[in-house]
Every structure is written in structure tokens, then in C-alpha cells.
Chain A
Amino acid sequence: MKRVYVNEEWCLGCHLCEYQCAFANSGETDMVKALKGVKINPRIQVEEGDGVNFAVQCRHCEEPLCVKGCISGALSIKDGVIHLDENKCVGCYTCVLMCPYGAIMPGNGTAVQKCELCLNNSCGEPACVKGCPNAAIVYEER
């Protein structure tokens, strides 16, 4: 399956992917309108270190602990993609407790949020990858 992979050597730590993510999932068509004055809550997070940066988002695990632990059945595996049914989620955060990557997080409403490779929004392929100026994240089979 195609996943988003990190080339940490190339990451500038510019956080553009976070903005692309927030925009792609905002439901808005205009980036300025979507993000101006908003404290973004992206599903991809850039970690910054001593000369190293990299972006982290859901790994779409083959053995997804979040799905196994979800108390409501809101998380499921759809053709390898780990999918959240926001309508079923009650925001208990058991999945936050379970995910070894810290890749699922409180959302803006009751439900949590996670990367679904932009298959659940109008972008259709990972906006973060498309927007990365340095190919520090790629969308491919490995």
C-alpha cells in the first residue's frame, strides 16, 4: 500500500505540510479564508530537533492498535487505510492512549482526528506531500 514516508535528511522544518493539512481538511476552497487568524490543528506534526526535523502522521499500521482499542467501533481498516467515523467517535481518547506514534489527536469538536491520506477530503492525495518544497515526505510503496 502507498504510505507517506519521511526523508528526514531533507526536512527543513518549515511546517508548510501542517498548513497544507489544515487547509485540505478545512472544507474551504480558499487557503487564506481557511487559515487566516486560525490556530491550526493539523493531522501532521513536524518535530524539530538539533539539526533534524521530520513530519509525523498516521502510519496506517498493519496491526493498528488504535483500531483494536477503539471503544466505539469508530476506527476501522478500509483497504489498508485506517478510517475514522467521526459520527461514531465519542472523544474518549482511548486511541490517543494506544497509538505508539502519537498520530491521532483531539480534534476541533468531540471527535478525534487523524490522517486519512486525504482520501476523505476533496484533495484525493496527501496535500502535505504535494506541498512539501523539498520532497522530505513522499507518498509511495516501500
Chain B
Amino acid sequence: MEKNYVIVGNSAAAIGCVEGIRQVDTKGSILIVSDEPHHTYSRPLISYLLWGKTDRQRMKYRPDSFYEDNKVDTLFGVKATALHPEEHTLELDNGETVTYGKLLLATGSRPFIPPMEGLDQVEKKFTFMTLNDALALEEAITPDSKVLIVGAGLIGLKCAEGIFEKVTSLTVVDLANRILPSILDEEGSKLVQEYIEKKGVKFYLSDSVAKFEEGVARLNSGAEVEYDVVVIAVGVRPNVELAQQAGIDVNRGILTDVHCATSAADVYAAGDCTVSHNIASDQDQILALLPNAYMQGETAGIEMAGGEANYDKAIPMNAMGMLGLHMITAGVYDGEVYKEQNCEGYKKLFVKDGKLKGYILIGDVIKRAGIYTSLIREQTPLDEIDFDLIKHSPQLMAFAKKERKVKLAGAKE
């Protein structure tokens, strides 16, 4: 088989790539290879599926006609096993070899499972990454289930939210001394933890499972937690094996330039499997986030088709809802702090070198958060805007009149 474009993966980065390619090249042949056997679906919606807030049809990331509309051939339930950049070929586990013009690695990430004593003996244990994971978990739980979730990070807590109404008890254990350590500061963690605890979820922090015994998990602290179902959600690792074996530069994630090109000619990479450059901290890191994955994929697609695009404004950014409490966070928590806390919610802004570097918003104060995000992404010097005005509530009034004309009146920059 021969194709102009081959994409490994069928999630946010892959779909971004298809849409990027089609902005430039409406004809070239595209093949998507994915080991998951489903039409593209929204990975973050698996918790909403269990919660009953969406269904299999509505959680499709693109309409049923997407592949047809975009003239994309698909191989679902097929895994790519080897990549040969010199020959421009990709080997598949169905025995076929595909020759490509340009290739995108959008292989995403997978759950990390640390060695834990007795875990192999646990009958009902799950991770929470894929639609199949969610369906298997749904099948395993009963109204009498006592669920133990290891990891109070984003995935662990989204899983908790998804099954909260369906089980008897939910216990979450985390090694860190607070919940959601990757997106909140200590005060914020405490606030959100109190909220979730009031709903009936139990936490063990600065703790982990020392040993799983039948029906009981013994924690490092000596505490015992009864369970019948275990979910492991202690972090994700990028899928880099294909790239690694092909001799492509990898450092934890696949390394790319601003055009999402890898070190091998005609091979691009996007999404959770890559390393991004976080412009808020000026450091390289893996940003396993859907908006970033989509935008990287789109950039790669445009470039693969001969257009020009840059992915050069990456920052960490999360919108997270937890049983009715919403939080939005972005950037890095470094620099001078502006804090507001009242009945509306909790807000922290972090300013350094005259620029907004990060923010944490919890509760009703999330409104118009994107105005803050844009200040971080665009690295806007704060002396060019009325920062005192914008500190309290994000608004376009804080920008100079000339800038407002561009934003609201169609003036050219």
C-alpha cells in the first residue's frame, strides 16, 4: 500500500493533522492507523460517559462522516510495529507494509503502572485512559462496590467523578501531600479537597498502597482500605517505542522542532507522545493535554502538506470540573502573587519580569479566563495594559484603544 500521508493514532493530534493537511492539500491520500477499534472519540469524555453526561454517539470527537468527508482511509484495530524512515515504510501487525510520503506519529500516552505488591492478585483492577478501559470499569462496578483509586491527579479524580453516583464508597490514595498537585497550589488543593470530601470521597494523602491483600489494601501509613475494585491513575508515559526503534531523537518524549518535525526526514510527531517547549517557564516538558495535541497535530498537518505553521506558544493549561466545582489553571506558578479569595472563589495570578506567568482560578471566578491565558501565551508586557483593572476581573477594557480596535472593530494590526 502507498499513501501520501500516514498517521499513527486516531485521537486529538491525529484529527488535528487531518484538518491541517486538508487546509492545504485537498487531494493527497491519507491513511490513519490506530490500534483502538473505534471511530475517533473524545478521550476526556470517558468519565462523562460513566457519569451519564454523554453517550457513545455524542462523545465521538468528529461526526460519523468525518473520514469520508476528508477522504481518509482507516485501519482500526491495527498496530504499527516498525517504522523505517530511510525507506519511508511502516510495518503493521496485520502483516502489511505501507509506503508513505510523510508520516505523523500521534501515538499518545499510556498509563504508568508502578510495581505494587499484590497488585497482580487483584481481580478487578483497571486503568482509566481508553474507551475500553471505561467500559470494562463500568461492567465491573456494582452499587455495592468499594472502589480504591490510586492517584489523586486529574485522571484519578475524573474517574472518581464518573463513578461517584454508582458505587458505595470511593477512596483515593496519593503519594503527594495534596490532591491535584500538578495543577493547584497548596491552598487551592485544600479548598478542592474539602469540597470533594463533603460529597463523600475519602482521601489518604502522603500515602500509597504498600500491599494489596484480598479485599483489603494496606497503606504505607498502616491504614487499611477495603476494596473490591482498584483503579490505578498515577500518571501517564508517552508512547515513543516506534520512534525510538527508528532512531528518532527521543528524550522521555519525541523531540520535534516548532514545525512538529522530528529528527527523521518526513516524520512528524504531535500530542502526548512529544516534548513541548513551555514558554511560561522556558523549559521543555511533556504537556499531555488535548488542546496542545490538537494544535500540534494541525501544525504538523499544514507543514506535511507543504504549508507553513508554527507550534510555538505551548503552555500547560487545564480546565477541570469536579462534581460541580470548576477550576481553570494555566502557566507556571512562579513570581509575585496577586490573590483574591471570597464567596465567588479563589484566584491567584503570578507575575514575573513584567509578564503574567500563570494563574489558578477556582469557582465562579473562572469567567473570561481566556483573557488571562492569552496574556501568558502572547507574553504581553503588563505595562502595556491596565493590569490593575484586569487583576480583579478579566476584561478587554484593560487594553489600549488601538488594541481594542484590532480586537473588536476589525482594524488591521
Contacts and interface: CB of A to CB of B under 8 A. Distances in A.
Interface in B166-184: none
Given A92-B321, A96-B367, A72 B394 contact: no
Given A71-B45, A90-B48, A101 B290 contact: no
Interface string A43-80: 00001110010101001000001101101110000000
Contacts, number: 121
Nearest to A106: B367
Contacts of A68: 16, 291, 294-295, 298
Interface in B349-407: 366-371, 373-374, 394-397, 401, 404, 407
Contacts of A88: 54, 58-59
Interface stretch (A5-13, A16-24, A25-33): A5-13
A93 to B, nearest CB: 4
B409 A93 contact: no
B394 A93 contact: no
A105 interface: yes
B291 to A, nearest CB: 3
Given A71-B44, A92-B319, A47 B396 contact: yes
Q: How large is the interface on B (under 10, 10 to 19, 20 to 34, 35 or more residues)?
A: 35 or more
A51 B278 CA distance: 39
B53 interface: yes
A99 B370 contact: yes
Contact of A97 (B317, B401, B404): B317
B58 A87 contact: yes
A55 to B, nearest CB: 8
B60 interface: yes
Contact of A6 (B45, B370, B408): B408
Contact of B366 (A3, A7, A96): A96
B370 A96 contact: yes
A96 B369 contact: yes
| Most chain A CB inside 10 Å of its own CB: which residue of B369, B371, B408 | B408
Contacts of B58: 72, 87-88
A73 B370 contact: no
Interface in B48-81: 48, 53-54, 58-62
Contacts of A7: 409
Contacts of A96: 319, 328, 366-370
Contacts of B45: 71-72, 90
B196 interface: no
Contacts of B16: 68
B291 A69 contact: yes
A2 B317 CA distance: 32
A69 B290 contact: yes
A98 interface: yes
Contact of A56 (B44, B294, B396, B410): B396
Interface in B280-306: 290-291, 294-295, 298
A110 interface: yes
B409 A65 contact: no
Nearest to B158: A92
B394 A102 contact: yes
Given A96-B368, A97-B317, A3 B397 contact: no
B42 interface: yes
B368 A69 contact: no
A109 to B, nearest CB: 11
Given A48-B397, A96-B368, 10 more contacts: A59-B408, A69-B290, A88-B58, A93-B326, A94-B291, A97-B318, A100-B373, A102-B367, A102-B370, A102-B396
